[in-house]
Structure 1
Amino acid sequence: MGRWNQGWIGLLCWASCRWSIWACASSAEIEESKLEIIQPSQPDKQEYTYHPVEYRKWQSGNFQSWSTQDSRETRTIDGMNWYQPTVQHAQTFWGGRTNLHPTSIIGKKGFFRVATCEGRSFLLDPDEGAFLIHGIQHVRPGTSSAQQQALQRKFGSVVRWSEETGTLLSVNHFNYISYGSKRVEAFPPEPRIPLLNPSSRKMAYAENLHLLSSFMWDMSKNLGYAFEDNKYNRLVLLFEPTFTSYIDELTREKVRFYVKADDAYYEGKKYTNTEGGGWLVRTQQHRGEFYQNFCLRLLESRRCVGWVHFEYNDAVDTNKGVVSLDYEPYVSYLEQVSQLNQQVHSLVDYYDKRKNK
């Protein structure tokens, strides 16, 4: 895969030095229908009905008071008054759109590449479809004793876990996964196919041992990247000569993607939710509203080729996952995630048409 163009957001949280992309489209191409976006010339309502979501921050060892100061303009799809979903476009086996005409292509044909289509940044799949990532990170059985015991109770084996997890991610329209490891590591043989090829869908998977040298060769072109907060990524930043020239800009542009819910429990005990970043909101429904708000704004920017949710399952005592420590899906959260993931291309059409009016 080629280098990112300057200024691209490219908000992809790489879990380790390799990546994988699998398809969300069926093996048969979806029949293309006429595109139509209904947008009144003189709408009776404002474009958005905002929904303020209460949150609280963890600062200096304590949770601050509940507030809506920075969340009064939370966007959701249901609150988009001018938007009407469009029918599906024709797609490649990978889920990429075939009705766009890519330009400024960087990369080798037959692989995932980067391109611009009508002024918007995309990945280009191996069959020339315009592709946006909406993925999830660290898809693997949990390593704590509580997670391992829960896996045995619910699934009985890693193979059964991988089959049900592959289906869960597919029906919620995730199209990218990473295994997640502290060292370079491939998906183990047993869960590999059910996870990377759910329902025999076409997929791409590559092990890239030179990811940092390929993607991070010029930090001035990567100011929009979000990194997992660990010592190795910090070292990359500290030893990059241009670090001091962009750190202030990076700080100003800091975003908070994932949030944790106050209603997450394990064995009848509420999580403390003090580990890791992100805000605390009251419910899983509110987590979903934050997810939609963040992704809608990325799509509106036209300069983001995708995002990756951190992460698949909860950490011990921290609500980060789409499933709990007991591997139970957070249904009300996933409903919001699925609604947006399924409509990514329809939302792209809406924002592009609005921009061009």
Structure 2
Amino acid sequence: ADNHINYISYGSNRIEVFPAAVRANLLTPKTQKIAYAENLYLLRTFMWDMSKNLGYAFDDDKYNRLVLLFEPTFATYIDHLVQEKSALFAGDRHFIGFYLDNELPFASYQNTDPLRGIDLKHFLSLPERYKAAREYAEKFMRDNGIASAGAITKKNQEDFRGMVADYYYQLTTATVRKYDKEHLILGTRLHDWSKYNQKVVEACVRYCDLVSINYYARWQPEADFLANLKVWCGTKPFLVSEFYTKAEDASYQGTGYANTEGGGWLVRTQKNRGEFYQNFCLRLLETRNCVGWVHFEYNDGYGLDGKASNKGIVSIEYEPYTSFLSQMRQVNLAVHSLIDYYDTKSVQ
């Protein structure tokens, strides 16, 4: 709060509210009001619970998980999930709203990976266990007069991707709005090539209050992408829901971090991290349709490989990175005056 960070996430993979014992400190600090949001993980939770609910686990290494969207029990499952979870946040004035899911595989690079991006041929080849998704693809083929898989064009592929994305966003947002009309719906934290896909972004825009993006693999936001977002989003804003860099100088008891885990790139020092943060955020403010950013994350931790990763504003020992934070604070304090500056600059 002293560094004018005004948002924090608490929940884990299973959404939960702040414990009463820490809520006052986290959400009503003396220096600044802090808000929060949580992720419903609608499709992902359905996938995690398949063994319990359907008697078999989903083969995530063989099929695109979006095929589960068409399972006959999916709509009922997420209806119950949203009803239960939205009740936890009813009337909460600190709560901004819900992300629907995280980094769903809508699109892959040049459509080369059917597990990471919706692929019409992949849906057509699904086994009997996932026949609902296969039949959805077969109907698309009939409705569009496509004779065979060999006749599928790039336009057919994009139209199918757009239909699946539209169905996902329409169903999930209608379910959330059934039980919660007071908080925002924050998209699905589009990642990798999904955020660059016009059909996917436009489907999100039709139903969500904003488009959320996990933004990695770039030193700064690309001008052409930001220009596209302005067109695709129309009157809706976007939010950067994840971004960060790691520094080589992070260490624990004299041993440098491995820094091998995570999507953020590597810089030399904490000061360099601050320079990256300032440059990245200035470019976002300049767009005039970005409503914020969430630095990922607040404390260093260990990756799946068990090795330390410098993602945080505090170390594994909870020591603040002061040279990084001082530069974060400088931008955070100046956000509103910067907005005024860019607004004025844009009309000159």
Normalized against structure 1, the TM-score is what?
0.43
- Which structure exhibits the higher relative contact order, with contacts defined as CA atoms closer than 8 Å and separated by 6 or more residues? 1
